[in-house]
Amino acid sequence: MSRVRLSRWLLAIPMSLLALATIYPLLFTVNVAMKTRRDYILDRFSVTDTLRWDNISAAWNSVGMDRYFLNSLIVVTSSVVLLLLLGSMAGFALSQLRFRGSSALFLGCLAGLFVPFQVIMVPLARIMADTALIDTYPGLVLVFVAQFLPFTVFLMTSYYKTIPREVIDAARIDGNSVYGVYRRIMLPLGTPALLSVGILNALFCWNDVLMSLVMMPSADHRTLMVGVTSLRGQYSDDIPTFASGVLIAAIPVLVVYLFLQRQIADGVAAGSTKG
Partner 1 sequence: MPIGNAEPSVRPVPAGRTDGAAAGSARRRRGARARPGRGGSRAERFAPYVLVAPAILIIVVLRLYPLLLGVNFSFTGDGERNGQAVGLDNYLELIEDPLFRTALSNVGLLVLLLPVAVAIPGLLATFIYLKVPGHRFYRSVYFFPAVLSPVIVGAIFNLLLAFDGPVNAVFEAVGISPVDWLGNPDVAMFVVVGVHVWATFGMALVVFLAGFATLDAALLDAARVDGASLPQVIRHVIIPGLSRTIAFVAVTTMVGMLTSMFGLLYVMTSGGPEGSTYLPEYYIWIQQGQMNRPALASAASTVLFVIMLVVGLLQVKLLRRAGGED
Residues numbered 241 to 270 that lie near partner 1 (CB under 8 A) are 242-243, 246, 249-250, 253, 256-257, 261, 264-265, 268-269
Give the residue, chosen from 57, 177, 191, 234, that forms a contact with partner 1 under the rule CB under 8 A.
177
- Report the site for partner 1 in 45-64 (rule: CB under 8 A): 45
- Examine residue 122 and tell whether it contacts partner 1 (CB under 8 A): yes
- Examine residue 117 and tell whether it contacts partner 1 (CB under 8 A): yes
Helix then strand then coil, in percent of the chain rounded to 5, is 80, 0, 20
Residue positions counted in the chain? 275
Q: How far apart are CA 135 and CA 215, in angstroms?
A: 6
- Examine residue 222 and tell whether it contacts partner 1 (CB under 8 A): no
Q: Which stretch binds partner 1 (CB under 8 A): 50-58, 61-69, 73-81, 85-93?
A: 85-93
CB environment 153-167: b (16+ within 10 A), e (fewer): bbbbbbbbeebeeee
Which residue spans within the chain are E strands per DSSP?
none
Q: Which is nearer to partner 1, 45 or 220 (CB)?
A: 45
- Examine residue 159 and tell whether it contacts partner 1 (CB under 8 A): no
- Examine residue 187 and tell whether it contacts partner 1 (CB under 8 A): no
Within 10 angstroms of residue 137's Cβ, the number of other Cβ atoms is 15
Number of residues in contact with partner 1, rule: CB under 8 A?
Answer: 110
Q: How far apart are CA 38 and CA 47, in angstroms?
A: 14
- Examine residue 15 and tell whether it contacts partner 1 (CB under 8 A): yes
